[in-house]
Amino acid sequence: MPTFSVPQPITQGAGTDLRANWTPDSRWIVFERLQGGRRRLYRVRPDGSNLEPLALEEPDDSDSTGRPAFFTPDDLVFVSDRLGLTALFRQFQGQVMLLHVHAQPSYGPALGTASTWPVLYFQQDGKDEVHIYALGQDGQATQLTHHPGVQDQPWPCSDGQTFVYHAQEDGRHVVCLQSVQAGAARKVVSDADEETAYVTPFPSPDGQWIAFTSARSSQEQVWVMRPDGSERQQVTSGAPHSFPAWSSDGRSLVCTRGTPTAEPPSGYLVTVDVS
């Protein structure tokens, strides 16, 4: 079983910080900051130094939201509403370009440790329907989930063949595992309701663990478990923690301490060493 250090704060200030991810070289942590009614992507070193906004050519009246995904440290996919509709954009060689747009908002771009196509994401497909899609390099989108209800927050596993995600059905919030092949069956790996809509499962780089958020202990905390749902272990305690993400070397987790989805929101980033 892994052991985890006491969380160490790396951001502070008036903003609410959430949905963090590491660059593939683990040199930066990129995250969404909510401040002054606007959402922007920032980056910070893992030791808390060099905090700065990402240069994404963002218009003043638009938002960049969600956890970004990376092909390389300088080639990322992110969400913005700069066109008046929430869509996927890509910043490559310093230039921002539209990657994918749909009549319904698209969210949550995800790339695994291999940092290769397809890009996974999710979108609203009806009043009570949310589904996960795979976007190929040719621009074609394939629907991967088909169960009724909400299926979102995908993240690819290290094998490049499977991914984990959150599903909500019959009032329960669970972690699921599924092949990236269209029409594949899914496996529910949660043994009961995780009691939060922000489960945000994130596989470890070696494929041995899934970090996720569960509120079974009365408030949201970060946990880990095996891909088959066994060996559940609580990572954080005390104040609420959520939105975990592994570093590419598997030696650290980053997550948010606070209540970033509450009203009013609050939260700052902390890192946890893993051994």
Q: What H or E segment, with its residue span, contains residue 129?
A: strand 129-135
Q: What integer pLDDT is reported at residue 170 of this predicted model?
A: 86
pLDDT exceeding 90 applies to what percent of the chain? 92
98-122 confidence digits (pLDDT tens) = 999 999 999 999 999 889 999 999 9
Residues in the chain: 275
**Whether the model pTM is above 0.95:** yes
pLDDT at 121: 98
Among positive and negative, which fits the CA dihedral 96, 100, 106, 112? negative
| Per-residue model confidence (pLDDT) at position 158 | 94
Residue with tokens 């996974």: 120
Residue 183 has a pLDDT of 84
Structure tokens at 211: 């970090």
- The segments of the chain whose pLDDT lies below 70 read none
Confidence at residue 208, expressed as pLDDT on a 0 to 100 scale: 97
Which pLDDT belongs to residue 126? 86
Give residue 148's pLDDT.
93
Inter-CA distances, 104 with 101, 122, 131, 151, 242, Å = 8, 10, 11, 15, 27
Q: What is the pLDDT of residue 217?
A: 87
Two structure tokens written together for 229: 């749902």
Instruction: Note the pLDDT of residue 113.
Output: 87
- The pLDDT value given to residue 19: 98
pLDDT given for residue 187 in this prediction: 97
Long-range contacts of 104-109 (CB under 8 A, 24+ apart): 106/79, 107/65, 107/66, 107/79, 107/152, 108/66, 108/67, 108/79, 108/152, 108/153, 108/154, 109/66, 109/67, 109/68, 109/69, 109/77, 109/78, 109/79
pLDDT given at position 129: 94
